[in-house]
Amino acid sequence: MNYRIDPQYLPNVFTSEECDRIVSLESLGEIDISESWTATPKDVGAIPIRKSYNGWIKPDNNEWIYEKMTNVMTQFNDKCCKLDVRGWESFQYTVYKEVGDFYDWHVDHDTGQDMPPRKISLSLQLTDPSEYEGSELQIHHTRFYDDFPKNKGDIIIFPSWCLHRVTPLVSGIRRSLVAWAMGPELK
């Protein structure tokens, strides 16, 4: 297995209208948004590693999103990874809306749950970059990646074992859709 697979930036995967359609699920009440505040599990009273808002987009009535994301993930996996991937977790709709909202350095690979490990992570930009400042996705893997364009409809895709973060929000609101392709344990 090649652990040195670089993150990929994929422009214009979703149209602006498709992104708006996903965001409209929030206003239609089809996504239950709640505050997401995460600290390291062993540290009672610890400083949080995440503060944002999120909800889950399930496949029901949203098959078109899953189909499009599956096509992107499959092409990336066939070209770069060749991982045994067998499905998705529900897609996470994330909102950074309060100044300072962030997600500190972490990896997605080990969920610590009774689920197969995450193998490929995708982040779909749902907000036009003129609508917010800060909230940059940064990845530290074979090098430090902090220069991704952040156009509405773009995807950044990377192996789930890559260390990454979202910097604090400075102003505005940023929305994204995050997806994880899963499969059996790596051998």
* Tens of pLDDT, residues 129-180: 999 999 999 999 888 888 899 999 999 999 998 999 999 999 999 999 999 9
* Per-residue confidence band for 186, with pLDDT thresholds at 50, 70 and 90: low
119 to 53, 85, 114, 184: CA distances (angstroms): 23, 7, 15, 9
Q: What is the pLDDT of residue 81?
A: 85
Helix, strand, coil tally for the chain in percent (to 5) = 20, 35, 45
Cβ atoms of residues 152 and 126 within 8 Å: yes
Residue 3: pLDDT over 90: no
CB-based contacts of 5: which residues, under 8 Å, 6+ apart? 80, 81, 158, 159
Residue 2: pLDDT over 60: no
77-124, pLDDT tens digit by residue? 999 888 899 999 899 999 999 999 999 999 998 666 677 889 999 999
